[in-house]
């Protein structure tokens, strides 16, 4: 894949602590394979599907998602500025409601939808009623594309790799910044490219650094990002250069054990992600509150949602062949802006 527009290619985050454990690529082998299961697919531009459209400079459609209880999936659609709730089995839309213009991310928590745009977070109930708004200093915290909820609190996931708490128990608070991105397991994870072929990540709980690890890769690093965490797993989005001119990037999701003593253990799983990005999304991977790794893939046929779970046997099911073969990147198919 080509480098994704939404991610910088280099991170310049300060490293925490000393005494980092170092694992080399040839010595880092995942011990468990992943099963990829299709949960749902919704078609583009049908009466009961998801709106997709091209405008100059960007392709719009499903940009964020949440798997809900009751056999439902919610999508944030920036082509129609709506939350669209679908039946997971059929993929058909069963409910829609309008949200903020130019919305960027969606989180569902305790019966409420939290929707982020450049200026605020708006909160909607399941009927689509706007029940509250959470403002933040958008002139200071510019470029925020991600949102998170943990322990009845709302966080912005900053481009710097830190988290900004802006709300607690339904009340807007004075913003407080934390190192690392908050996850649904309550851990903060901080990542950085620490060398041409190395990346580092730190596990933080509250204000305390728990552990840190550095990994050496076979290919030059393009990016390392937090995908999420469960009680005993930490997931990272690892991007390495296949070629640097022209830019071509390979993307993998890897997981590491979080031990009972809350240290970072061995690499557990690693899977290559299909090179298929029909719509720009900043939230195509996340870990659910129940600890399941989820993936939204936007393809020419529609939007797909997959669960990735650790296999108990060596016989595993990967991503479907048709998806691996597509190799579609929105940057190559943008509507050009006419010069005036």
pLDDT, one tens digit for every residue, the chain (340 residues)? 544 444 333 333 333 333 445 554 434 677 789 999 999 999 999 999 999 999 888 899 999 999 999 999 999 999 999 999 999 999 999 999 999 999 999 999 999 999 999 889 999 999 999 999 999 987 788 789 999 999 999 999 999 999 999 999 999 999 999 999 999 999 999 999 999 999 999 999 988 999 999 999 999 999 999 999 998 999 999 999 999 888 889 999 999 999 999 999 999 999 999 999 999 898 999 998 888 999 999 999 999 999 999 998 878 899 999 999 998 776 676 666 665 4
Residue carrying the six token digits 């998170």: 148
Distant-in-sequence, close-in-space partners of 168: CB < 8 Å, separation ≥ 6: 152, 153, 154
| CB-CB neighbours of 41 under 10 Å | 18
Q: Which domains does the chain have, with CATH numbers?
A: 21-333 (2.40.128.630)
Residue carrying the six token digits 């949200």: 99
| Angle at the Cα of 84 from the Cα atoms of 35 and 146, rounded to 5 degrees | 70
pLDDT of residue 141: 84
Dihedral angle, C-alpha 241, 6, 164, 152, nearest 10 °: -100
d(CA 334, CA 159): 24
Distant-in-sequence, close-in-space partners of 321: CB < 8 Å, separation ≥ 6: none
219 close to 196: Cβ distance less than 8 angstroms = no
pLDDT of residue 13: 31
Indicate the DSSP class of residue 322: H
pLDDT of residue 21: 56
199 close to 212: Cβ distance less than 8 angstroms = no
How would you classify residue 39: left for phi > 0, otherwise alpha for psi between -120 and 50, otherwise beta? Answer: alpha
DSSP string, 272-290: EPPSEESS--S-SEEE-TT
Phi, psi at residue 330, to the nearest 5°? Answer: -55, -30
| CB-CB neighbours of 312 under 10 Å | 10
pLDDT of residue 240: 96
d(CA 188, CA 202): 8
Is residue 331 helix, strand or coil?
A: helix
């Amino acid at each position: 894949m080509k480098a994704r527009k939404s991610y910088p290619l280099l991170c310049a985050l300060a490293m925490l602590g000393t005494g980092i454990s170092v694992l080399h690529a040839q010595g880092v082998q995942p011990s468990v394979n992943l099963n990829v299961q299709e949960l749902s697919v919704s078609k583009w531009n049908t009466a009961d599907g998801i709106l997709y459209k091209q405008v100059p400079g960007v392709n719009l459609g499903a940009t964020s998602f949440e798997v809900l209880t009751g056999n439902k999936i919610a999508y944030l659609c920036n082509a129609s500025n709506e939350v669209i709730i679908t039946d997971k089995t059929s993929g058909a839309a069963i409910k829609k409601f309008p949200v903020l213009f130019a919305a960027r991310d969606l989180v569902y928590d305790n019966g409420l939808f939290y929707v982020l745009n450049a200026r605020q977070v708006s909160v909607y109930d399941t009927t689509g009623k706007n029940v509250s708004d959470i403002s933040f200093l958008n002139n200071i915290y510019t470029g925020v594309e991600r949102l998170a909820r943990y322990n009845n609190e709302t966080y912005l996931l900053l481009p710097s790799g830190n988290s900004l708490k802006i709300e607690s128990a339904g009340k807007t608070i004075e913003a407080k910044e934390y190192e690392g991105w908050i996850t649904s397991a309550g851990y903060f994870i901080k990542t950085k490219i620490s060398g041409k072929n190395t990346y580092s990540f730190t596990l933080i709980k509250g204000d305390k650094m728990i552990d840190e690890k550095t990994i050496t890769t076979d290919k030059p690093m393009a990016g390392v990002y937090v995908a999420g965490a469960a009680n005993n797993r930490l997931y990272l989005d690892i991007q390495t250069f296949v070629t640097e001119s022209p830019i071509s990037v390979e993307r993998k999701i890897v997981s590491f054990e979080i031990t009972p003593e809350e240290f970072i253990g061995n690499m557990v799983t690693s899977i290559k992600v299909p090179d298929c990005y029909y719509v720009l999304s900043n939230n195509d991977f996340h870990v659910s509150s129940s600890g399941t790794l989820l993936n939204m893939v936007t393809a020419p046929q529609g939007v797909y949602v997959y669960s990735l779970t650790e296999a108990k046997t060596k016989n595993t099911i990967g991503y479907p062949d048709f998806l691996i073969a597509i190799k579609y990147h929105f940057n190559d198919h943008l509507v050009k802006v006419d010069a005036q």
